[in-house]
Amino acid sequence: MALPEDRAYRALDLLRILMGLIWAANLLFIILPAADYWGSFAGVAAGFGPSSLSGPGIATFVSANSVIFAWMIAVATGYLALAFTLGFTTRLACIVGFLASVAFLVTQWNTTFAFPGGTDVGAHPVYLVVYVALFAGGAGRYWSVDSWIWRTGRARFAAFARWIATPRPKA
């Protein structure tokens, strides 16, 4: 019979995998040609000027450098989809996901909390809580590459690995 602690870790890992699937769905919107992510990025970014907490400055900057920011978001989205789904560098993924959600919230603040919301960022406050729970709770102890690395003794630089991956599972 599983200990209550084991159930909690399994629940965290199920939540981790679900976050990976959410990021994988976001990745589909980037790579599918019908979404026109690459072609419409500059215009979409510029359109968030009125809704940004900092005013139109950041939106204008992102729009002017749209190729760089489009690639940054695409790479981060792909990384988060793989990292959460596979449980690889779980804690680092929590940090990257947290920072991405904060950036989306700050740049789309006024449309995020308008009813009805005008963006897909309305869930990001919940995501922030999930990232903190996954990071602090030690997600990645089950069904993960991180756990496999610890169990097989392949973890190098243990102190560093505990910060980017998952804490060492109990023996």
- For residue 170, being part of any structural domain is answered with no
**Number of domains making up the chain:** 1
Determine, yes or no, domain membership for 131: yes
In a domain, 169, yes or no: no
With respect to residue 171, please indicate whether it lies within any of the assigned structural domains: no
The span from the CA of 26 to the CA of 5, in Å, is 32
Sign of the alpha-carbon dihedral angle for 57, 74, 79, 6: positive
Q: Is residue 24 part of a domain?
A: yes
- For residue 112, the enclosing domain spans 4-164
- pLDDT tens, per residue, the chain with 171 residues: 455 567 888 888 999 999 999 999 999 999 999 989 899 889 888 887 877 777 788 888 988 999 999 999 999 999 999 999 998 888 899 999 999 998 888 787 666 555 454 555 567 788 999 999 998 888 787 888 877 776 676 666 666 666 666 765 554
Largest Cα–Cα distance of the chain, in whole Å?
57
Decide if 145 is inside a domain: yes
